[in-house]
A = this chain, B = another copy of it.
């Protein structure tokens, strides 16, 4: 069966090692949304021997979003109902973003506010510094 996260990176790649990659997908209203995607096709965290190492990358993504966006909250989620290839959403949330306080998968409550511009390069450098 074809899998879109086996076939493509899933966004601008900010960092990568043998286990996983940190990408920044283009998600309307959420420039501070990163995804940490396992390179090989694994479905659940408890199928992944290297889950502690993966979480270190997830927490590095959280650290970097906090440094560069100063969000009101960070949301972490590994769902994979649509694409059952292990990936984490790491999302900088703001009280005035389109869905707050709901998760970003709920219906929008308002128009997205613009956020300070943070380049891929600035994010990539910050991740490298943390990892």
Chain A positions near chain B (C-beta within 8 angstroms): 43-46, 51-52, 55, 59, 62-63, 66, 73-82, 84, 93, 100-103, 105-107
Contact = CB atoms under 8 A, between A and B. Distances in A.
Q: How often does this chain occur in the complex, in copies?
A: 2
Contacts of A79: 73, 75-77, 103
A80 B91 CA distance: 12
Given A52-B52, A105-B106, A75 B75 contact: no
B52 A81 contact: no
Contact of A45 (B59, B81, B103, B105): B59
Nearest to A56: B52
A76 B45 contact: yes
